[in-house]
Amino acid sequence: MSDIQPKEGESATKKSLILYAFQGAVIITTEKLNGKNYLNWYSAVEIWFLGQRISEHLTKKASKIDAKLKDDWEVADYQLLSLLWNSIEPKLMAHFRLYRTCYEIWHKDKNLYANDIQRLHESFLSLATLQMTDNDLSEY
């Protein structure tokens, strides 16, 4: 994993938006969201964003950003969105490609997976396809 550093001429202690120049391959988490590991993925992504001091990209809508910072904010958010997409399994990307901000992805994931609908669906599917073999009920 490579470091993320502020662009030349920008102070690391600057209070306003900091644009990052990504050097090498940046990976948010090695455990990609697959629909069954939401809590692990959520924690890893949240910690990464907090560690970079950019968690507001997950918690603020772009419409709430100050007009002076909006252009830079959007550029940074698109870069982060690309990283966020890379932390999701390709088979799930059909659900997330429509969203254009980190905030939208973050809240879509939460709505889909935090309430355990996926587990409920899997349990229902298991029950619907439950078959007994040549055993009687007590052995089964």
Mean pLDDT of 7-25: 51
Residue 92 lies in a domain: yes
Residue 136 lies in a domain: no
Residue 10 lies in a domain: yes
Distance (Å, whole) CA 96 – CA 86: 11
So what's the pLDDT on residue 60?
93
The pTM for the full model equals 0.67
Distances (CA, A) of 98 to 6, 70, 95, 112: 29, 21, 7, 15
CB 92 within 8 A of CB 37: no
For 63-82, how does the pLDDT look when each residue is reduced to its tens digit (9 = 90+)?
A: 999 999 999 999 999 999 99
Mean pLDDT of 112-128: 71
Q: What is the amino acid identity at position 107?
A: H
Look up tokens 């007994």; give the residue.
132
What total of structural domains would you count in the chain? Answer: 1
Residue 138 lies in a domain: no
Q: Is residue 21 classed as helix, strand or coil in its secondary structure?
A: strand
Distance (Å, whole) CA 21 – CA 109: 27
Mean pLDDT of 122-136: 68
So what's the pLDDT on residue 134?
64
Distance (Å, whole) CA 65 – CA 52: 19
Residue 134 lies in a domain: no
Kindly state the percentage of the chain with pLDDT values over 70: 70
Residue 109 lies in a domain: yes
Residue 140 lies in a domain: no
Domain that holds residue 90: 4-128
Residue 24 lies in a domain: yes
